[in-house]
Amino acid sequence: MTRERIRQITEHQNKHFGETPQAIATMLTGCTGYVTDSGIAVLEIGETLPHTKDCRTPAVNDHWLGCVHAAIGRLAKKAAVPSFDMAMVGFRIGKPRNTNNAQLWDASNRALNLVINNLKGVFFPDDNIEHMAFSVFGCWGEIPQTMIYIGDLREHGVEITKLYMPF
The CA distances from residue 1 to 14, 104, 115, in Å, are 19, 9, 16
User: CATH number of the domain that 89 lies in?
Assistant: 3.30.1330
Predicted structure pTM score = 0.83
Cβ atoms of 59 and 65 within 8 Å: the answer is: no
Please report the pLDDT score of residue 50 as a whole number.
79
What is the domain count for the chain?
A: 1
Each of the 167 residues of the chain gets a pLDDT tens digit; together they read 566 766 777 776 666 666 666 566 655 568 899 999 999 999 999 888 877 666 677 877 888 888 898 899 999 999 999 999 999 999 998 887 776 665 555 556 668 888 999 999 999 999 999 999 998 888 887 888 899 999 999 998 888 887 777 66
Domain holding 106, by residue range, is 3-164
How far apart are alpha carbons 150 and 97 in whole angstroms? 27
